[in-house]
Amino acid sequence: MCHCIACQQRTGAPFSANSRFAREKLEIQGDSRTWERKADTGNGVIHHFCPDCGTTVFWELTGFPDVVAVANGLFADPTYPAPTVCVWEESKHSWTDDIANQPMERWAKMPE
Burial of 45 (0-12, 13-18, 19+ CB in 10 A): buried
1 binds Zn ion (CB under 5 A): no
Are the C-beta atoms of residues 20 and 68 closer than 8 Å to each other?
A: yes
2 binds Zn ion (CB under 5 A): yes
7 binds Zn ion (CB under 5 A): yes
| Cα–Cα distance measured from residue 60 to residue 1, given in angstroms and rounded to the nearest whole number | 16
Give me the least distance between CB of 87 and Zn ion, in Å please: 7
* CB of 4 or CB of 68, closer to Zn ion: 4
Site residues, Zn ion (CB under 5 A): 2, 4, 7
